[in-house]
Structure 1
Amino acid sequence: MSNQKLAFLSKFYLLILVIISLWGCAAMQRPTGGPRDLTPPKVVKATPENMTRNFTAKQIQIEFDEFYKLTNQYQEISISPAQEKLPEYDVSKKLLTIKFKDSLQKNTTYVINFGKAIADVNENNVLKNFTYVFSTGPHIDSLSITGQVFNTSTQEREKEATVFLFPISQDSLMFGKKKPTIFTSTDSAGNFSLNNLREDTYAIYALKEQAANKIYDNDAELIAFLKKPIKVDKDTSGIKLNLFKQTPEKFRIVEKRFNQDGKLSFLFNRPLNKPAIKLLSPTALDGQKIVEFTKTRDSAFVYMRNMDFDSLSVQILENGKALDTVPMLKQRKERFDRATTFTFNINKNGMFKPNTDLIIKGNLPIESFDKSYFTLTEDSVAENNFTLQKDTANLRSIVMKYRFRPGSKYELTFNEGAVTNIYGDKNKKSAIKFQGDKIENYSVLTLQVKVPEAGKSYVVEMLDDQKNLLNTNVITADSKLIYRNILTGKYFFRVIYDNNGNGVWDSGNVRRKTYPENIWLSDKEVTLRPNWDAEETLVVPKEVIVP
Structure 2
Amino acid sequence: MIVFLPGELTNSFERSTMLNKIFSFFSFLFLAVTTVVVLYSCANIAAPTGGAYDVDPPVVRRSTPDFNARNSTTKRIEIEFDENIKIKTPNEKVIITPPQQSMPVIRSIGRKAVVELNDELLPNTTYTIDFTDAIVDNNEENPLENFVFSFSTGDQLDTLSISGKVLSASDLEPVTGIYVGIHSNFDDTVFTRVPFERISRTDSRGQFTVRGMSPGEYRVFALGDLNRDYKYDNPQEVIAFLDSTVTPSVMQAVR
**Alignment TM class, shorter chain as reference:** 0.5 to 0.7
How high is the TM-score relative to the length of structure 2? 0.55
Q: 1:64 aligns with which of 56, 63, 81?
A: 81
Which amino acid in 2 is paired with 1:196?
G
| CA distance in 2: counterparts of 1:84 and 1:153, whole angstroms | 32
| CA distance in 1: counterparts of 2:100 and 2:208, whole angstroms | 25
Match of residue 337 from structure 1: none
1:132 equivalent in alignment to 2:149: yes
Q: Secondary structure at the match of 2:192?
A: helix
Answer whether contact 2:219 2:241 (CA < 8 A) is retained.
no
1:110 equivalent in alignment to 2:110: no
Match of residue 193 from structure 1: 209
1:43 equivalent in alignment to 2:60: yes
Q: Secondary structure at the match of 1:171?
A: helix
CA RMSD across the alignment:
4.3
Deviation at 1:46, TM superposition (A): 1.9
Match of residue 232 from structure 1: 247
Unaligned runs of 5+ in 1: 1-33, 237-547
| CA distance in 2: counterparts of 1:154 and 1:82, whole angstroms | 30
Match of residue 182 from structure 1: 199
| Greater RCO (CA < 8 Å, at least 6 residues apart) | 2
Answer whether contact 1:78 1:181 (CA < 8 A) is retained.
no
| CA distance in 2: counterparts of 1:214 and 1:123, whole angstroms | 36
1:133-172 alignment to 2 at 5 Å?
133-150=150-167, 158=174, 162=178, 164-167=180-183, 170-172=190-192
- Per-residue CA deviations over 1:106-143 (Å, capped at 9, x if unaligned) read 21111223345433333444445432111111111122
Which amino acid in 2 is paired with 1:171?
F
* Cα pair distance change 1:117/1:191, threshold 3 Å: closer
Which amino acid in 1 is paired with 2:155?
P
Q: Secondary structure at the match of 1:230?
A: coil
Answer whether contact 1:144 1:235 (CA < 8 A) is retained.
no
Match of residue 492 from structure 1: none
Unaligned runs of 5+ in 2: 1-51
| CA distance in 2: counterparts of 1:92 and 1:55, whole angstroms | 22
| CA distance in 1: counterparts of 2:89 and 2:171, whole angstroms | 31
Q: 1:97 aligns with which of 82, 102, 114?
A: 114
Which amino acid in 1 is paired with 2:76?
Q
Structure 1 stretches of 4+ moved >6 Å = 213-217
- Per-residue CA deviations over 1:269-311 (Å, capped at 9, x if unaligned) read xxxxxxxxxxxxxxxxxxxxxxxxxxxxxxxxxxxxxxxxxxx
Deviation at 1:70, TM superposition (A): 2.5
Answer whether contact 1:51 1:135 (CA < 8 A) is retained.
yes
Match of residue 120 from structure 1: 137
Which amino acid in 1 is paired with 2:249?
K
Match of residue 407 from structure 1: none
| CA distance in 1: counterparts of 2:178 and 2:135, whole angstroms | 17
| CA distance in 1: counterparts of 2:111 and 2:61, whole angstroms | 10
* Cα pair distance change 1:160/1:180, threshold 3 Å: farther
Which structure has the greater CA radius of gyration? 1
Answer whether contact 2:180 2:208 (CA < 8 A) is retained.
no
Which amino acid in 2 is paired with 1:93?
G
